[in-house]
Structure 1
């Protein structure tokens, strides 16, 4: 009897110890991750290098004129973030610099043993104080994620384009994707920064046969390959900020929607009503999401704290959020902040849960 009792105690102890170890190893996070006016950005793009994570994005002010440049945040744990440096400091650019405008949605990709920075900007002039008439894509490279970055080429396209991203296929060919009243694509030679052929528009926001939640606008492409299929995440801001998913058998398409509904995001009837109306979307045709946000969008994927794929977005609090939230926003809540969520792959497609705002626990999967 004593042996049986001792065996049972030992088994319980081992199970309890294992549970305690799993709990201790769990990654805990609460969105928004950043809650600091000084660290506020939109369009967060995160890259893991060694044991650290780095993040860049669109700095404030976003809409009122030239912003200060391309900043880099740094974190050891994905929870605590600090300013590392300015990869491009707008105050240090010469007056005749052709990319001294708004620095929207920069991204950093590690390809061919170098770091490639895409920046979307234009030239500020007296007639164009925001540089939007020449707003397009610029390519920089560096040997280290923290720089210094040197200009490779730009503008990469002869027209307004924004939200550029890069993707390297297994054969070494690299592709550029971007937005601009629709989504565009082209192969690119990274060392020279020159497109192989002209940039091609492959999806319009009012594409025939596509759902009307895209009609307000589509942007922010991000491409990844899984099981010989190419997937493109993109964002739409017709009803708030939502993320859609496309797939294709080749990196240049043909692209088709994976789901007739967004796979992630927030939507609010009272937010941006003029855009919803302009996009042809009646407020009566959808329900508000339960989250306290009015924006959770412009996502990109990165390697998370558990070694799996995660998604980053900018999260912006909604003034009309329900109780128990205060009706008066704190200073950090009036600005976009970083939000993250796990990404799952199942039955030939990617999934994401709804945006979270309470503490979440993610236990790393055991290696088999």
Structure 2
């Protein structure tokens, strides 16, 4: 059975007080909506397909960026920006970085993985993860690291601040501004890393430090294939870091700390969100030595729902975004005949809850969801 077409209804009423996310911090805004209906995946278009979707609300619009296709086979076309007036209907806006327009000697003309946009101190900061494509290194992986750009507008133009920010392979960079204005960089690269950063100069003010390994002693086996995609937010004096693992599918874990530089500890021994399928990347499971893992498949039509980030949703509260990728061997009653868009990762969103001193996310959905908004 096919998922129903997504629907969206906004019925305007009186304004209400709600939360807004800006670079991991919470502020206040107004919303004047009553009902929001949505069906994942939100995009159903091979042109709009990306991985690692990050959504940012600016004024009355939502913007999204992510890893453009092709992801694995070589350089991709750059950093795409999508835009929506209602969070449901998305369209291509522009290239924040167009690889075709970069000079041949550009040191960051590679794969442009997992870009993120953060509004910090009235300026938009864009992080990208890329390297230099050469004949010897056609994917630019040997120089793949983090580059920082800034702009006065979310739509750009973005100017290079500094890069590469580290002298080693790093990926999936994200930024966080603390209450006192201090800013931090988090990233992946065969584990999770952290450092303090001065955004105006784009220079790290503390050494880049690996604080969590995928095979960390005492940590659960669902992390051992790989961990990546950090995203940090502060709530009630505690720092929370969302991260993803692709050991069994894409699953999201949650860490917490009393300091932005740790020590970090797992909030839950189990993932707080995601999908898992026994047939997921079997060749990596064999080569990585974790094909012995025993687990039960989730009953959804996805093989991946991960690499998340938080944003202000239609009700003004916290929502999560990431890519939702259909499972080629999805269980009955889902059709085994794929449409073109289903062969590519698409945007997925879900509301986020906070209770008992931690964050929760319900399992990924694929049927119509109805959210009653605050009046």
TM-score with structure 1 length normalisation? 0.92
Aligned partner (choices 245, 251, 265) of residue 242 of structure 1: 251
**Is residue 122 of structure 2 the alignment partner of residue 113 of structure 1?**
yes
Equivalent pair of 1:212/1:279 in contact (CA under 8 Å): no
1:60 aligns with 2:69: yes
What SS class does the counterpart of residue 80 from structure 2 fall into? Answer: strand
Q: How does 1:340-355 map to 2 (within 5 A)?
A: 340-355=349-364
Q: Report whether the alignment pairs 1:189 with 2:198.
A: yes
Q: How far apart, CA to CA, are the structure 1 residues paired with 2:372 and 2:287?
A: 44
1:295-334 paired onto structure 2 within 5 Å: 295-334=304-343
Kept in 2: contact 1:269–1:283 (CA 8 A): no
2:27 is matched with: none
Q: Which residue of 2 aligns with 1:21?
A: none
Q: Is the 8 A contact 1:45 1:57 kept in 2?
A: yes
Shift of 1:270: 1.1
Tell me the residue number matched to 1:213.
222
- 8 Å Cα contact 1:69-1:87 kept in structure 2: yes
Question: SS where residue 47 of structure 2 aligns?
Answer: helix
One of 146, 151, 155 as aligned partner of 1:142: 151
Task: Between the two structures, name the one with larger relative contact order (CA 8 Å, sep ≥ 6).
Answer: 2
Counterparts in 2 of 1:282 and 1:131: CA distance versus 1, 3 Å = closer
Q: Distance in 2 between matches of 1:200 and 1:247?
A: 17
| TM norm structure 2 | 0.90
1:91 is matched with 100
Structure whose CA Rg is larger: 1
Cα root mean square deviation, aligned: 1.2
Runs of 4+ more than 3 Å apart = 276-284
Shift of 1:276: 3.2
CA distance in 1, matches of 2:123, 2:293: 49
Deviation, 1:279, is 4.7
SS in 2 for 1:39: coil
User: Which blocks of at least 5 consecutive residues in structure 2 are unaligned?
Assistant: 1-12, 14-32
Q: Which residue of 2 aligns with 1:291?
A: 300
SS in 2 for 1:333: helix
1:73 corresponds to: 82
Identify, as 1 or 2, the structure richer in helix.
1
